[in-house]
Amino acid sequence: MRLQYGWVVVAAGALMGCVAIGSLFSLAVFLQPMSEATGWSRTGISTAMTLDFLTMGVAAFGWGALSDRFGPRPVVLAGALLVGAGLALASRATSLIEFQSIYGVLVGAAAGAVFVPTMATVTGWFVRHRSIAVSLVSAGMGMGPMTISPLASWLLTGHDWRTAQLTIAIVAWALLVPAALFMRRAPETSPGMASTPGGADPGMTVGQALRSPQFLILGLTYFFCCATHSGPIFHTVSYAITCGIPALAAVSIYSVEGFGGLVGRVLFGLAGDRFGAKQTVIFALVVQALGAGAYYFTRQVGEFYAVAVVFGMAYGGVMPLYAVIAREYFPMRIMGTVIGASSLIASLGMSLGPAVGGWIFDTFGTYGWLYLGSLVMGLAAAGIALFFPPVPSRQPAAAAQPA
């Protein structure tokens, strides 16, 4: 029964991630029409996404701690309600600062309530198939650009940006709230999970975990990884348009990148179970860096599609494996807090791309330096990941947990 319901949690988490993260990132599709309709600068609108990442990271730390204490269901249900509320209120904003405050704070905080508790919960349901289970949840998040962004683009062909964003809010409520009700903590989380494989010390406190070398390397790698892909993810649609690609085709590049992320999550999830999460992360980080740098040389739509597949596979595949690595180093009873804390650090890296990319374009009239900077950040992430300490030896209790 535990194994079967674990996959129900995976499915619910994948759906919630798709809708919540997809709604958040749909701002990339709104960037140009919003700027034209309101006169707000791209830098100003992009700053809302920067605030999203910062708020999501800070909120994720709190949401993760709450999920450790009260369980994931009330936390993700609160996030589901807040996602729709944030999008609906942002669609009514009458000034840039109002939009930045609502979209950048409320929507970001809501997304954090979905992401961290869901990922932490899934790590508790599985042992042998942990990498692929977590990756499948993350695959739902990767489907956001393939679903919510095309929906936003289609809505914008017949409606103004306010109506389109309000419609997405209603869709988010309709899908997220029912899915949240399926979220359930693994039965072994309380007494038995502390003795399962992966925790370096079952008695480790939160303070000890956050001061450990394992967490330091995890946080730094996560930071530079997110700094690598946040700018290219957010600005590639606009970059393609500046290269002469029609708007709908440019949005399809974003969707292809999302499809690549979906495939990458599955492939790298399987690789993580087969070869180890650390080795798989290092490989994916190198590919991600090279993919980001390749955008600098891309001009034609076919080239954009090719780079988007590789880049999407790499950044999509590496992201869920950080939760797997965390589970190998730290006990399950503090997993929400640990993943929340690492996500807080990662959000600082994610916050760089949208605002810096917008500033680069507004200042130089080109996105070239954004992609070269992403290349450097990506290689730095791979270099830091080489210093992950050895994973603690596995306990015999693993044999009692077939999942």
Express each pLDDT in 207-221 by its tens digit. Answer: 899 999 999 999 999
Q: What's the distance, CA 10 to chain centroid?
A: 16
Q: What average pLDDT does range 1-23 have in this prediction?
A: 83
Per-residue confidence band for 195, with pLDDT thresholds at 50, 70 and 90: very low
CB atoms near residue 207 (< 10 Å): 8
Find which of 109-123, 137-151, 290-304, 379-393 is predicted with most confidence, using mean pLDDT.
Answer: 290-304
Q: What average pLDDT does range 42-57 have in this prediction?
A: 83
Query: What dihedral do alpha carbons 294, 298, 303, 307 form, nearest 10°?
Result: 30
Cα 369 to Cα 362: distance, rounded to the nearest angstrom: 12
Cα 7 to Cα 53: distance, rounded to the nearest angstrom: 29
Q: Two tokens at 369?
A: 């330096």
Cα 320 to Cα 339: distance, rounded to the nearest angstrom: 11
* Residue 138 pLDDT exceeds 50: yes
Per-residue confidence band for 403, with pLDDT thresholds at 50, 70 and 90: low
Find which of 50-54, 214-218, 363-367 is predicted with most confidence, using mean pLDDT.
Answer: 214-218
* Residue 196 pLDDT exceeds 60: no
Per-residue confidence band for 377, with pLDDT thresholds at 50, 70 and 90: very high
Q: What is the predicted pLDDT for the residue at 392?
A: 60
For the chain, domains (ranges, CATH) are 2-185+198-390 (1.20.1250.20)
* Residue 307 pLDDT exceeds 50: yes
* Residue 145 pLDDT exceeds 70: no
* Residue 190 pLDDT exceeds 70: no
Q: Two tokens at 209?
A: 């975990």
Running DSSP on this structure, what letter comes out for residue 388?
P
b/e code 14-23 from CB counts within 10 Å (16+ = b): bbbbbbbbbb
* Residue 20 pLDDT exceeds 70: yes
CB 388 within 8 A of CB 269: no
Cα 371 to Cα 46: distance, rounded to the nearest angstrom: 17
* Residue 188 pLDDT exceeds 80: no
Q: What is the predicted pLDDT for the residue at 401?
A: 45
Q: What average pLDDT does range 24-33 have in this prediction?
A: 85
More confident residue, 396 or 7: 7
Cα 250 to Cα 237: distance, rounded to the nearest angstrom: 5
Cα 293 to Cα 231: distance, rounded to the nearest angstrom: 12
Structure confidence by residue, pLDDT tens digits, 337-364: 898 889 889 888 887 888 788 889 888 8
Q: What is the predicted pLDDT for the residue at 393?
A: 56
Per-residue confidence band for 198, with pLDDT thresholds at 50, 70 and 90: very low
User: Within the chain, how many helices (H) and strands (E) appear?
Assistant: 17, 0
* Residue 296 pLDDT exceeds 50: yes
Q: What is the predicted pLDDT for the residue at 305?
A: 94
Per-residue confidence band for 200, with pLDDT thresholds at 50, 70 and 90: low
Cα 237 to Cα 249: distance, rounded to the nearest angstrom: 9
Residue 159 sits at φ, ψ, to 5 deg, of -140, 165
CB 303 within 8 A of CB 236: no
CB 350 within 8 A of CB 53: yes
CB 17 within 8 A of CB 118: yes
Nearest C-alpha neighbor of 226 from the set 45, 378, 358: 378
Q: What average pLDDT does range 177-205 have in this prediction?
A: 67
Structure confidence by residue, pLDDT tens digits, 73-90: 999 999 999 999 999 999
CB 133 within 8 A of CB 12: no
Cα 304 to Cα 38: distance, rounded to the nearest angstrom: 29
Cα 254 to Cα 29: distance, rounded to the nearest angstrom: 9
Residues contacting 70, CB < 8 A, separation 6+: none
